[in-house]
A and B are shown apart, each in its own frame.
Chain A
Amino acid sequence: MTFSVDLHTDEELQEGLAKATPPWARIRGNGLLIVGLVIVAASLFLAVFGEALAPYDPQVPTGDIAQPPSAEHWFGTDATGLDIFSRVIAAPRTDVTIALAAAVVSLVAGTLIGLPAGFYRGFGSELIMRISDVIQSFPVFILAMILVALGGRSTINLVIALAFLYTPIFIRLTRSEVLSQRSRTYVESARALGNSEGRIALIHVLPNSLAPALIQASVTIGWGILLTAGLSFIGAGVRPPTPEWGLMISNGANGIILGEWWPSVFPGIAISLTVFGYAAVGNTLEQSYGS
């Protein structure tokens, strides 16, 4: 119920908040969020069980070369005889894992750097922000290519490169929330009660400043999947024959002029759906957080 009359005083505002719909009720009424959550859940499930569920070994050719989709090979087979369906559902182990790991690393690093940057303003804080500016001003894709080229093509290096790129986003989000939280009276109350500055920052301000970064993390996972696939597509990502969506599109690209659309189209749909799912979750959470 939106009880928008007379929302002048704090008391009324809080009464309004107390009466506000609980989170689960909001989820139930939001189709986009439900679709997003289903996709996110499916991607995480496949990251764990995808390979085990695959009807064929995703890395061993079946012998049926370049077959169109059929009852035997749901998504067809590619030019080397690998089963596309098996590879599409096995790929989240690579794509989602890399993106998830990169998002977690950058979330943790960004929060830990952003907290002091917002809480203690000064030269150090300015320096951190200017470095973030520099990192963010590079085109993401090119910087990722350079980082992988420097470190070598491995899963770990991809995670490091992606985390490096995304950390400034979390620094910025956390810092701006910390800046607004630190001027709240509860922070001054905490000081007056005898908390040390470090304790105020960690115990009081940090938990109240996490929401924007947590919401952003979901969107970042989507971006990370897209970037991982993109890097693999140009040959800067994981090595073949690892099942990976970008790599599959790249391999299948040559066949498209021969009419063999299935090796590229199915992994392409998988990428689109997954990125959409994470972005949908992030965006709807962001909207409900703001209201």
Chain B
Amino acid sequence: MTEPLLDVRHLAVSFPARSGETRVIDDFSLQIAPHEIVGLVGESGSGKSTIALALIGLVRHPGRIAGGEIIFEDRDILTLDDDDLREIRGRSISTITQKPRQSLNPLLSVGRQISTVYRAHNEATRQEGARKAVELLEMVGINDPERRVTAFPHELSGGMAQRALIAMALSSAPRLLIADEPTSGLDVTIQAQFLDEMWDSVQATGSAVLLVTQDLGIIANYCDRVVVMGEGRVIEDAPVKTFFAAPQHEYSRRILSLQRAEPHQALDDVDSEAGSLVAVNGLRKVFELASGDELIAVSGVDFNIRRGRTLGLVGESGSGKTTVGRALLRLVEPTAGTITFDGDPIENLDVKSFRGLRDRLQVVFQDPFDSLNPRWTIERIVREPLDLHTDLTKEEKRTRVMETLEMVGLSASVAKLRSRRLSAGQQQRVSIGRALITEPDFVVLDEPTSALPAAAQAEIIDLIARLQHELGISYLYISHDLTTVEYLCHDVAVMYLSQIVEHGTREQVFGDPQHPYSRALLASHLYPDPTSRRVDRDVRETLTGEIPSPIDLPVGCYLASRCPVAVPECQTAPQELIAQPDGRKVRCWRITESDLDWAELESGEAG
């Protein structure tokens, strides 16, 4: 091994506890070589973020570094005085934290903040600093950097704020970059853009990166080595391919189980002639904003969900996928369109009659803690649908609740607890149990795993698949996580800016996406598979530019301004969903054009 850039030996961090101290980091050792990208994974609470801070000699109040050495460029960071430390922080070691908005000073423009950091470590005049800020913003892919450099943090979207923070971290061309979940909160297409840049810069300059993340896709595609943390120490340290092929530790095996599982058995068993349970036609939802503007959240959405099947609705934030699910359940009133459930139109039912149907149409939300009444016991929460929709006796209800808890994999002992006592995964099981206790025909699953730690995600997905197999429920599965969509769904609809742009079977959409947006989305998705890494492929199909505002939608195709295959007519001609010979529907008239050669585009201009 080459001389390590960073050598951490037996690091310990402790926090005061009621009696004495708790070591949250104990005997943590790690080496990072130049050119290396090291992924740091571990259960939430295992001390990942504490490590990210401790490496630059910082600990959150009231903790302290209790021992060990951090050798960086032949000096022990822990023994340096403040001046030397300041010299290293920000210049030789940069840090990118989560929560970009909270990390920026709300009173200063982003340009000013970037230039301050730059000038702290470089001899530069104010003007040079300002110029550098524009350059850096351009480098991290922000459109119109001259204008954005004067923007204040609240004027930036979360994604842009994150990129500004990245620009700040890169301003001194650091030898080591510590990035703590740098892409959480970014959409996949933008995430891919940032990680590509990071990878390129590591290859070009010989710097190194410690990447703290829960996302196995990022690890597999960008990291050279994986370090797994558990209870404050390293429990596994392996090259990325070894880690994915033969994980040593129990925790590693658990988080990898989702990736390795074959699509659930139930997907193939289903009768393909199964009748339609839910049909949506021309669904439209327009929100009136306080400013008087209209926000078109959903327009012209059609789909069918067959009995016992799952339709996956995928798209980035703001695509309208969540609104579709809520409009379907009349949690928001659709502006237009028809909804048929089990043969009957339900969009015009009065509130009371619809309420009577709710035992058959259920939903599981994203945030498991927030979806449960914090004052109620789990038993009361799970029992509530029975109280509302059945005339069972107290004893019968109790039996049903216990059966349901068992069905979703919870022990009877949780019945007496309140939700805050449970882990996020257990809370989501409660939510699922509550949705299923009335034996519904149809359940909307609105990002049910995205608020969960990696290991719990895998378990919840398995549970969802198993319950469909056992109970024959139909799902609308809303998610931006393509791995889980591929695992669970029979059919997939891709949404972009309020519309479905492609709708077909899972094999069609995942195997051979047709719409330019679906192609870009799938290309940006990071599969947890280190044998086919994004960085090893030359195909880098990314969209350019930013998503148009849903308040002021383009006249023509909504993707025209970002699309690699757009021709001038696309700017003015609205697109319809066109049925293709293989049965799928695609909202792009270009894909049947003879002059369109994807192979050429992929190796050429889009690469």
Contact = CB atoms under 8 A, between A and B. Distances in A.
Q: Among the interface residues A1, A5, A191, A207, which one has the most CB atoms of the partner chain B within 10 A?
A: A5
Interface in B375-425: 375, 384-385, 388-389, 420-425
A4 B50 CA distance: 10
A195 interface: yes
B356 interface: yes
B329 interface: yes
Q: Among the interface residues A184, A189, A190, A207, which one has the most CB atoms of the partner chain B within 10 A?
A: A189
B485 to A, nearest CB: 22
A6 B453 contact: no
B388 A6 contact: no
Interface in A171-199: 184-186, 188-196
B45 A192 contact: no
Contacts of B544: none
Contact of B49 (A8, A184, A196): A8
Contact of B373 (A6, A190, A194): A190
A26 B367 CA distance: 30
A45 interface: no
A185 B365 contact: yes
Contact of B63 (A5, A15, A18, A192): A5
Contacts of B363: 189, 192
7 contacts: A5-B63, A10-B368, A14-B369, A188-B331, A192-B358, A193-B388, A204-B373
Nearest to B424: A11
What range describes how many residues of B lie at the interface?
35 or more
Contacts of B385: 193-194
Given A189-B365, A190-B373, A194-B359, A9 B424 contact: yes
B133 to A, nearest CB: 29
Given A11-B424, A192-B329, A204-B373, A5 B368 contact: no
Contacts of A12: 44-45
B537 interface: no
Interface of B: 15, 17-18, 22, 24, 44-45, 47-50, 60-63, 98, 329, 331, 355-356, 358-359, 362-363, 365-375, 384-385, 388-389, 420-425, 427, 431, 434, 451-453, 456
Contact of A6 (B18, B49, B424): B49
Nearest to A186: B373
Given A1-B17, A18-B421, A186-B371, A9 B362 contact: no
A192 B368 contact: no
Given A5-B49, A194-B388, A184 B370 contact: yes
Given A189-B365, A194-B389, A208 B422 contact: no
A208 B359 contact: no
B421 to A, nearest CB: 5
Contacts of B358: 192-194
Given A18-B421, A189-B363, A5 B355 contact: no
Contacts of B366: 185
Given A186-B374, A194-B355, A195-B388, A5 B17 contact: no
B98 A193 contact: no
Interface in A1-45: 1-6, 8-15, 17-18
Given A6-B44, A9-B44, A14-B424, 7 more contacts: A1-B22, A4-B60, A4-B62, A9-B453, A15-B423, A18-B421, A186-B370
B434 A1 contact: no
Contacts of B49: 5-6, 8
Contacts of A9: 44, 424, 451, 453
A184 B356 CA distance: 23
Contact of A208 (B373, B431, B453): B373
A26 to B, nearest CB: 13
B136 to A, nearest CB: 27
Contacts of B48: 6
Nearest to A205: B373
Nearest to A193: B385
A189 B419 CA distance: 14
B289 to A, nearest CB: 16
Contacts of A192: 329, 331, 358, 362-363
Q: Among the interface residues B63, B421, B424, which one has the most CB atoms of the partner chain A within 10 A?
A: B424
Contacts of B98: 8
B356 A194 contact: yes
Given A190-B373, A194-B356, A1 B331 contact: no
Going nearest first, the 10 A-B pairs with the smallest beta carbon separation are A194-B358, A11-B424, A185-B370, A185-B371, A192-B363, A194-B388, A189-B371, A186-B373, A10-B369, A194-B355
A254 B490 CA distance: 91
Contacts of A15: 45, 423
B15 A5 contact: yes
Interface of A: 1-6, 8-15, 17-18, 184-186, 188-196, 204, 207-208
A186 B373 CA distance: 6
Nearest to A196: B355
Contacts of B427: 14
Nearest to A21: B18
Nearest to A183: B370
Contacts of B329: 192
A5 B431 CA distance: 28
Contacts of A195: 384, 388
A56 to B, nearest CB: 50
Contacts of B434: 189, 193
Q: Among the interface residues B47, B60, B384, B434, which one has the most CB atoms of the partner chain A within 10 A?
A: B384
A10 B431 CA distance: 15
B420 A14 contact: yes
Q: Among the interface residues A1, A2, A8, A190, which one has the most CB atoms of the partner chain B within 10 A?
A: A8
Contacts of B18: 1
Contacts of A11: 44-45, 423-425, 452-453, 456
Contacts of B61: 4
A12 B45 CA distance: 6
Given A185-B365, A194-B388, A208-B375, A6 B370 contact: no
Nearest to A25: B18
A5 B421 contact: no
Nearest to B326: A188
Nearest to B367: A185
A193 B451 CA distance: 22
A243 B289 CA distance: 60
A80 B423 CA distance: 70
Contacts of B388: 193-195
Q: Among the interface residues A3, A11, A12, which one has the most CB atoms of the partner chain B within 10 A?
A: A11
A263 B332 CA distance: 67
A6 B45 contact: yes
Nearest to A9: B44
Contacts of A5: 15, 24, 45, 47, 49-50, 60, 63
Contacts of A2: 62
Nearest to B373: A186
A18 B375 CA distance: 14
A195 B62 CA distance: 46
B365 A10 contact: no
A200 to B, nearest CB: 10
A119 to B, nearest CB: 15
A10 B389 contact: no
A265 to B, nearest CB: 45
A208 B374 CA distance: 8
A192 B372 CA distance: 12
A184 B49 CA distance: 28
Nearest to A11: B424
A209 to B, nearest CB: 11
Contacts of B373: 186, 190, 204, 208
